[in-house]
Amino acid sequence: MINNQAGINEKHSERIHHGLDILPSLKYGIPGGLGNKRWTGELLLATYLQASTGQPPSNGLEYRIGDSGGGFDVLSWRKPGDMPRLATEEVDLGIPLNNRAVGAKLSIPFPFYGGGMSFGSISLNFMIARARAAEKLGTYMSTGEGGYPEQLVPYKDHIITQVATGMFGVREETMQYAPILEFKYAQGAKPGLGGHLLADKVTSEVARMRESSMFTSLYSPFPFHSVYSVEDHKKHVDWIKTVNPRALVSVKVSTPTDVDMVAIGSYYAGANIIHIDGGYGGTGAAPEIAKKNIAMPIEYAIPKVHRYLVSEGVRDEIVLMASGGIRTADDIAKAIALGADGCVVATAEAVAVGCTHCGNCERGRGCQVGITRG
Amino acid sequence: MVSGTGVEGPAYERFHIEAKSADHVYNVPNKFDVHAKRLRLAAMLIHETIRYRFNRDIVLSRPCIYGVFSGRLGGFKPIKQRCVGCMRCVQEYPHIMQVNYGKKYRELGDLHWTPESVFTILYESSTGKIPVKGMGYKGSFSGEGWDGIWTDMSEIVRPTRDGVFGREYISTSADIGSKPFFLDFSSSDDVTGKKIRLLQSSLPIMLQPPESSKLDIGIAVKQSASKLGIYHMSRSPLNAYEEDPWYVPIVDKANLGKLNLDRAPMIEVDLFTSNRGLIGELRQRYPSKLISVRLKIDEAAEDEACRLFNDGADVIHLCADYHGFDYSKTHSHISHGLRRVHTRLVNEGIRDRITLIASGGITRAEHVPKAIICGADLVGLDTTLLIALQSEFKGETRDRTDCRLASRKIEVAWGAQRLINLMASWHDQLIEILSAMGMRDVRRLRGDVGRSMTDEELREQAFEGIDKLS
């Protein structure tokens, strides 16, 4: 029986790897049911191909934009005119993550790191894969709010510990591991609503990690019930700096009309990174009404925050990271052109390992490729 | 009834809508169409049989976790209705498997109703639940009308999730009628002066099935409205409505004599088919009843709204066509006309003395708060009710007098539960939106455009200085 199971696993692993390699060749065309307006079938296949080869497609697959009809998908690059093309080695993609005079001087070799995806909403295998990749690339990934599995400890120098409203799995120990601590105030896909881990996903492991009961829905409340002002927020930042004085502090917020005010508040509270998460970001489960309708898309929030921080004279002291619908390298470049320092990506990482953006992550049966938990 | 004030409605109790499963009774097309190329599948089976040395478990193991390939015939006859479009089978066997959107699914709806929006209403009305999905938003960046508006949220205020789970109360009730600027009290603390005529609805929603709807649909609407504590409108002279305190008759010259208006808390005059003289006539005959006036949105709507106020209307029911476009020359989206009328009434200083109902094209839960932000007190639901009751598309549903949506025969109890479920789902979604803003009362949202962001304005601001391609 065990041999059969091993054989079955081997068969399907081999088949899916073969499929992910061959589908982008377009030998069988673009599957009709694959993709949607934001992640088109072409974009998904192009991402599979880039994940397999490390190169952009050369067969005409669209790998830069989707078909949403707005935002990054309608922004294009101005022709450089007489500007000479630079040699690749002359281009520095690195960005610092701390622009303040004090604190650790961390930087990343390219302008993006991995966003929060919690243990419980994603599988341990995917979590470890992300951590390994972050280590190899010299960048970071965030735990999300679900605890810090011990298998991640070997990669702790590349792992951002997220402290979110439910405080699930947040312990002093895991906060002290982290080079960067991330406060999650809100998430772009469900702004103002907190989180909800469906009961089906709260297995014994997840319950242990989150110090809760098995197969009981877990809610991350909204907001932090100890934070109702910038002063409260400052106390929070002070607390976290007391627990881990080495760590940089990132503050993740979504994109309301006053996102610029929120950003400046975070600056004065002592944050090193303000991370804005736009409305079209990813999630393991969220009400459809929230994803589409609450808070502005990241394309509009970036310039708003950037200009305000400039006008307040503090732009050079805080790092502005953008997420929530960053799908491609082109999106990252456009986000930076609009005013961000860099981006935080998560869904693209899931697509790189076979996600089809089908949106069935929340179902009891879980993810067909084992990225999210079922 | 609040003593002495004339405010009618049930005494306070915590509002809750009980949803119960009410499955579809007519077939709903499969969203996905799965197809296996049988010869290639047979060849693959032979290949795998040899490769895995006749190990039946391994050879017959299929990648689908949803059981599409279950059953004796396995992959040769996929169980299509189980397919959720995860595409795992295509990822593993792209040379054999094809998954496309089903033809009947793609043909569902009309120019306004997308297949996805029809499916959403069907889901909501059968379960009463909020549609929840994994991954991020999958649709267009923005769009015309409601799709070009985003609602606001607040990073740090209550009540939010607490409100969603009932620890704090978020009110979704709406007042219908005219509020005075102040109250006069006698020495014994009784309210004196002009009596306030105000009705209360548990939701900022009125039900008004299109006129082509069959009788059983009308009865299902009546039953659901009374269970929900909301009002429903019809021009049908149905005996069953006569004792119904939630029934608002729509009158015009043609049906005036056929309706018993004595029990109705509110009467709606249809200006599509009548003239304004009828308002005065009814006001004289029924001085204590609320008078609502059904008005088409066009270039003159704001002037006409002011005139109707002066004529004694308590409520103005602004109507666009069933796709949400007004009757002006430009056929603008209802949101524009609604904002114009609301703003004009504010500027005239009479906004609180009149109620605005907006209807036409309110087809998704998010349209309710967005219409309220644009200035409505309540919205009217029309074609959405028929979709929930599995009516059939026979063409475009846009025209109020020729809506090509054929109602099917239904069991009244089933229909009433479907509508209750739909409202349960929309109520919870309205609370999600309000809670994200930290707002406790939907009435506070009315006309609060600062709680919204429009695509047009944001694009102007954000992309300022970026050249436009011609």
Contacts of A27 in chain B (CB under 8 A): 94
Q: With beta carbons less than 8 A apart as the criterion, state whether B238 and B258 touch.
A: no
**Could you tell me if B42 lies within 8 Å of chain A, comparing CB atoms?**
no
Q: Where are the domains of chain A?
A: 2-64, 92-352
pLDDT at residue A258 greater than cutoff 80: yes
CA distance A177 to chain B (A): 28
Q: Provide mean pLDDT across the span A226-254.
A: 92
> How close, in Å, is residue A139 to chain B by CA atoms?
24
The span from the CA of A33 to the CA of B424, in Å, is 31
List CB contacts (< 8 A) between B66 and chain A: 365, 368
Where residue A120 falls among pLDDT bands split at 50, 70, 90? confident
B368 CA: distance to closest CA in chain A (Å): 12
Whole-angstrom Cα distance, residue B343 to residue B332?
17
Cβ-contact B41, B6 below 8 angstroms: no
d(C-alpha A60, C-alpha A81), whole Å? 25
Question: Pairing between strand B205-207 and B378-381?
Answer: parallel
Tokens representing A54 are: 């490390």
| Set of chain A residues whose Cβ sits within 8 Å of the Cβ of B47 | none
Structure tokens at B221: 């609407």
Nearest beta carbon to residue B87 from set A286, A356, A362: A356
Closest to A196 measured CA to CA, from B154, B161, B155: B161
pLDDT of B1 reads: 38
Q: How many CB pairs under 8 A join A and B?
A: 270
> The domain B161-460: what is its CATH number?
3.20.20.70
Cα dist. B158→A86, A102, B161, B164 in Å? 52, 35, 8, 11
A196-208 tens-digit pLDDT: 777 877 888 888 8
- The per-residue pLDDT for B163 is 54
Decide: B52 and A6 in contact? Cβ < 8 Å. Answer: no
* CB-CB neighbors (< 8 A) of B52 in chain A: 7, 11
B162 touches chain A (CB under 8 A): yes
pLDDT digit string (tens) for chain B, length 470 residues = 344 455 555 565 667 899 999 999 999 999 999 999 999 999 999 999 999 999 999 998 888 989 898 766 778 888 999 999 999 999 999 999 999 999 999 999 999 999 999 999 999 999 999 999 989 999 999 999 999 999 999 887 654 555 555 556 889 999 999 888 888 888 888 888 777 789 999 999 999 999 888 899 999 999 999 999 999 999 887 777 778 999 999 998 888 888 888 889 999 999 988 888 899 999 999 988 999 999 999 999 999 999 999 999 999 999 999 999 999 999 999 999 999 999 999 999 999 999 999 999 999 999 999 999 999 999 999 999 999 999 999 999 999 999 999 999 999 999 999 999 999 999 999 999 998 888 889 999 999 999 999 999 999 999 988 888 65
Q: Which residues of A touch B154 (CB under 8 A)?
A: 192, 256
Distances (CA, A) of A9 to A12, A16, B92, B271, B326: 5, 11, 13, 69, 58
Q: Write out chain A residues lying below 8 Å of B142, CB-based.
A: 69-70
Distance, in Å, from the CA atom of A92 to the CA atom of B66, rounded to the nearest integer, reads 47
Is A167 an 8 Å CB contact of chain B? Answer: no
Q: Looking at the complex, report in whole angstroms how far the Cα of residue A153 sits from the nearest Cα belonging to chain B.
A: 27
CATH superfamily placement of domain A92-352: Aldolase class I (3.20.20.70)
What was the pLDDT predicted at A364?
66
* Residue A250 backbone phi and psi in degrees, to 5: -110, 140
Enumerate residues 410 to 439 of chain B having a beta carbon within 8 A of any beta carbon in chain A.
Answer: 429, 432-433, 435-438
Give SS3 for A34.
coil
Higher per-residue pLDDT: A331 or A281: A331
pLDDT range class, residue A361, cuts 50, 70, 90: confident
Instruction: Find chain B residues with C-beta within 8 A of A282's C-beta.
Output: 135-136
B residues 53-112 closer than 8 Å to A (CB): 55, 57-58, 61, 63-66, 84-88, 90-95, 98-101
Give the dihedral sign, CA B384/B345/A293/A34: positive
What ranges in A23-170 are assigned the alpha helix state H? Answer: 41-53, 124-137
Q: Which of residues 104-123 of A touch B (CB under 8 A)?
A: none
Rank A218-232, A287-301, B71-85, B249-263 by mean pLDDT and report only the highest.
A287-301
